[in-house]
Amino acid sequence: MEPPEIRKLDVEVINRIAAGEIIQRPANALKELIENSLDAKSTNIQITVKNGGLKLLQIQDNGTGIRKEDFEILCERFTTSKLREFEDLHKLITYGFRGEALASISHIAHLTVTSKTKNDICAYQASFVDGKLQGVPKPTAGNQGTIITVEDLFYNMTVRKKALRSPAEEYQKISEVVCKYAIHNSSVGFALKKSGGNNDVRTPVNSTQIENIKIIYGNAIARELIEFSLTNEPFKFKLKGFITNVNYSTKKFQFLLFINNRLVDCHGLKKCIDQVYSTYLPNNAHSFVYLSLELDPGDLDVNIHPTKHEVRFLNEDQIIETIATALETKLLGSNNSRVFFTQA
Ligand code: ADP
Ligand code: MG
C-alpha cells in the first residue's frame, strides 16, 4: 500500500484544535476571563450566565479597558500586553502571558468585546470571528472597563458540545471558579447570576477572606476556621490560609489551592492534607481548606499545560511533606484547645 501523503493542516483547523485544548468547558473560559479582569486591575467583576455558559457567558469589569487601537490584533493568537521575553515567564506578576485566551474563544464561540479606557470619551464595541476583528470598532455608551460577551460556545464543535454535562453541572463548575477567586481576591467584588435571575454569589468590594468564606460557604465553616501560616527558608516558600479545625467535618473535601495566586490543582498536596485530617475526623469525613502558597517564581513552571491548571515546582515532595507536618501540629493544637475549651 502507498503511504498516505503528509499535508500541512489548514491554519483554521490548527487554531480550532488548539482552542479546544485551552477551553474544555465554559468554566475554563470563565477562568481565563476572570484572570484578564484581575490583570486589568478591576475592583468589580460581574458575571452573567445562560444555559450553563453554553448560550451566554458575559463578564463585565471596571479595569483599565482595552485601547481602541489594540482591537485589530486583540484576538489573534499570541498577542499579549503582558509578556515580551521568554525569561520574563519567571518574573510574571500577571495571570496571562500567552495571549491565547481571547483568540481561542473567538475560534469556538461568538465573541463581542466592549471596552472603554480612562481616556476614551465613549466605549468601543466589536465582534471577532476566528481571531479576526469584524469591521471597525463602533462607538457606544459604556463605563470604564471591559465587557466580554461569549455566545454559543462550541457551536462549531459538535462532539465537545455533546460530551458536556448538563447546563446545571456546567453552572456549578462556573460557580466554583467564581467562589474560589472571590475568596482569594477578597478586595475585589464578585457577582454571579443567571441571565434574568438574581445574584447567586455576591461579595462586596474590599471584603476579607474570612468574610467571603462566610458569605459563600456559610457560617458552619466560617466559625470553625483557624488561620494556618508557614514560612520556610530552605525551600523558599510561604503559606497562608484558612482551614477548618477538627470540630468541623463534611462529606466532601473542599480544597481551594492557589499557587503564586493561580488557582491550580496539586493532587499530591490535596491527598496529603486530606490524610492528615483523617486521623482527627470521623470515618469518611473531610475538611475545608483554603491555601495560598507563594513559591519563588523561579522554582515554579506555569507553562506545562495550556489550561495552566497544573503547575510543577521544585522540591514538590519535600514542600508537601513540610506542609503536612506543620498541619499535623496545628490540628493537634486546635484539638487540645478544643478539649481545654470544653472542659473549662
Ligand atoms: P493574555 O492574558 O495571556 O495576555 P488574552 O488572550 O487573555 O491573553 O488577552 C489578550 C490581551 O487582551 C491581554 O494581554 C490584555 O492586554 C487584553 N485584555 C483582555 N481582557 C482584558 C480586560 N478584561 N481588560 C483589559 N484588557 C484585557
Ligand atoms: Mg488572559
* Ligand 1, atom 19: closest residue by C-alpha: 36
Asked, for residue 116, whether it belongs to a domain, the answer is yes
Pocket test for ligand 1, best of 22, 33, 39 (most atoms within 8 A of CB): 39
- pLDDT at residue 332 above 50? yes
Count the residues in the chain.
344
pLDDT digit string, tens, across residues 61-119: 999 999 999 999 999 888 888 777 777 776 667 777 678 899 999 999 999 999 999 99
pLDDT value of residue 133: 97
Show the domain range for 29.
11-203
The residue that leads in pLDDT, 83 or 152, is 152
pLDDT value of residue 27: 95
Q: Is residue 232 domain-shared with residue 334, that is, in the same domain?
A: yes
Q: Is residue 226 domain-shared with residue 181, that is, in the same domain?
A: no
Q: Is residue 276 domain-shared with residue 162, that is, in the same domain?
A: no
Q: Among 13-27, 34-48, 82-96, 173-187, which stretch is predicted with the lowest mean pLDDT?
A: 82-96
CA-35 nearest atom, ligand 1: 2
Query: d(Cα 284, Cα 193) in Å, to the nearest integer?
Result: 33
Query: d(Cα 261, Cα 300) in Å, to the nearest integer?
Result: 12
Which amino acid is it at 8?
K
Asked, for residue 247, whether it belongs to a domain, the answer is yes
Asked, for residue 4, whether it belongs to a domain, the answer is no
* Ligand 1, atom 20: closest residue by C-alpha: 36
Comparing CA positions, the residue from 217, 149, 148 lying closest to residue 182 is 217
CA of 4 to the centre of ligand 2 (A): 39
The CATH number assigned to the domain holding 43 equals: 3.30.565.10
Task: Tell me the pLDDT band of 342, cut-offs 50, 70 and 90.
Answer: very low
Name every protein residue with a CB atom under 6 angstroms from any ligand 1 atom: 32, 36-37, 40, 61, 63-66, 74, 80-82, 96-103, 146
Which domain-ending residue is among 172, 203, 234? 203
Q: Is residue 193 domain-shared with residue 317, that is, in the same domain?
A: no
pLDDT value of residue 92: 67
The residue that leads in pLDDT, 150 or 306, is 150
Asked, for residue 210, whether it belongs to a domain, the answer is no
**What is the rounded average pLDDT of the residues 313-325?**
94
pLDDT value of residue 226: 95
Q: Is residue 199 domain-shared with residue 265, that is, in the same domain?
A: no
Instruction: Please compute Rg for the chain using Cα positions.
Output: 22
Q: How far is CA 159 from the centre of its chain?
A: 25
For the chain, the average pLDDT equals 91
Which amino acid is it at 84?
R
Q: Is residue 197 domain-shared with residue 282, that is, in the same domain?
A: no
Pocket test for ligand 1, best of 41, 71, 73, 80 (most atoms within 8 A of CB): 80
Query: d(Cα 62, Cα 208) in Å, to the nearest integer?
Result: 20
pLDDT value of residue 339: 42
**CA 297, 302, 306: angle at the middle one, nearest 5?**
165
* Ligand 1, atom 25: closest residue by C-alpha: 65
Asked, for residue 68, whether it belongs to a domain, the answer is yes
- pLDDT at residue 122 above 90? yes
Q: Which residues share a beta bridge with 292?
A: 240, 258
Q: Is residue 87 domain-shared with residue 139, that is, in the same domain?
A: yes
CA of 289 to the centre of ligand 2 (A): 27
- Split into its structural domains, the chain has a count of 2
CA of 27 to the centre of ligand 2 (A): 14
Q: Is residue 249 domain-shared with residue 163, that is, in the same domain?
A: no
The CATH number assigned to the domain holding 312 equals: 3.30.230.10
Asked, for residue 231, whether it belongs to a domain, the answer is yes
Q: Is residue 32 domain-shared with residue 167, that is, in the same domain?
A: yes
Asked, for residue 254, whether it belongs to a domain, the answer is yes
Which domain-ending residue is among 180, 203, 226? 203
pLDDT digit string, tens, across residues 238-290: 999 999 999 999 999 999 999 989 898 888 999 999 999 999 999 999 999 99
**What is the rounded average pLDDT of the residues 203-218?**
97
Asked, for residue 3, whether it belongs to a domain, the answer is no
Q: Is residue 84 domain-shared with residue 176, that is, in the same domain?
A: yes
Q: Is residue 195 domain-shared with residue 248, that is, in the same domain?
A: no
Q: Is residue 98 domain-shared with residue 128, that is, in the same domain?
A: yes
Ligand nearest to the CA of 81: 1
Q: Which three cell numbers stand for residue 275?
A: 490524610
- pLDDT at residue 186 above 70? yes
Q: Among 4-13, 107-116, 186-195, 201-210, which stretch is predicted with the lowest mean pLDDT?
A: 4-13
Which domain-ending residue is among 175, 203, 231? 203
pLDDT value of residue 21: 80
CA-99 nearest atom, ligand 1: 8
